[in-house]
Chains A and B, each alone.
Chain A
Amino acid sequence: MSEDTGNNKERGIYVYCMIKAPAQKKSFGNMGFGGEDVYTLEYRDFAPVVSTAAVKNYEVNDDEVELHRKVVEHVMKEHDVIPVAYGMAFKNKKLLLFAMSAGYKAMRKAMSEVTNKVELGVKVLLPKEDASWDGKEKCKSDFMEALKNKSAQSKELKLFSDRLVMNAAFLVDRDKIEDFSDEMGKLENKYANLKIQYSGPWPPYNFVDIQILSKRKGGFR
């Protein structure tokens, strides 16, 4: 990465997520990087949720990732959000608004899909001592079939370990989370010998995939 994206002290705008533009500019309090105020800007009917922050490469460390997560989780309590990846700091408002104009149509579509919904994550794991169990396929289709019925969309994710029977994300209506949990309860009883990780509610990270790219090579982030 070249010098002009390095860890200089230049102040810019860090974006946590996008929401539908509220009637008035809104502040979420001093919960941003460096204790800065988290507030909304506006582009047409969208509002990026931002704070003043350094323009630098945001290292992946627990505290900062956790801060980003907490801000989005807080905003999500009252708003539908389009999640934004970690580390998206802009040099100035003009560049941010320009990126939003480039991504506007895609964001409109994404927002219509995620409105009033959250993401739930389900991982099904074999116990350590039984990685060769032959019921994997049946089990996976049991889970997927039952949970697809309780969700608006689903997405199968990478099986990054031999012990993983299923790894998936589900987009679920806010008022159907309980239904989904009930279904999970049934599946957990049926497969009581397996380890099940049920997580969320998440911002819909796995259901929004919008990349705003310049044609310049050499730095994705």
Chain B
Amino acid sequence: MAHGPDSSSLAEVLDRILDKGVVVDVWARVSLVGIEILTVEARVVVASVDTYLHYAEEMTKIEQAAIGAAPGVPA
């Protein structure tokens, strides 16, 4: 009997919420003045390298902890 998807674990939430979707540079959010405004651009990219490097290590730890905590499957 099929069941629906489970609601989220924190690791799953973090995996999405931190650096995916629309991301706006901090300077574009808080401190643009005058001519700087002209230099803002949107780009659509496959992977965000900057944030990825920033969070990859931390995320891996969280994810591994989450898997470690999940019950094992009887052989």
Q: Contact residues of A with B, CB < 8 Å?
A: 1, 4-5, 12, 15, 17-18, 55, 60, 62, 65-66, 68-69, 82-86, 88-91, 95-96, 98-99, 102-107, 109, 120-121, 125, 127-130, 157, 160-161, 163, 177-178, 181-182, 184-186, 193-195, 197-203, 205-206, 208-216, 218-221
Contacts and interface: CB of A to CB of B under 8 A. Distances in A.
Question: Size class of B's contact patch?
Answer: 35 or more
Given A4-B31, A195-B70, A199-B7, A103 B42 contact: yes
A177 to B, nearest CB: 7
Nearest to A98: B37
Given A1-B26, A210-B43, 11 more contacts: A69-B8, A88-B22, A103-B22, A127-B75, A161-B63, A185-B2, A199-B7, A210-B42, A212-B41, A214-B40, A216-B27
A15 B22 CA distance: 10
Contacts, number: 217
B29 A213 contact: no
Interface of A, helix, strand, loop or mixed by DSSP: mixed
A212 B22 contact: yes
Interface of B, helix, strand, loop or mixed by DSSP: mixed
Given A65-B10, A84-B22, A90 B41 contact: no
A28 to B, nearest CB: 18
B21 A99 contact: no
Contacts of A163: 67
A129 B20 contact: no
Contact of A211 (B2, B6, B42): B42
A149 B24 CA distance: 34
A198 B21 contact: no
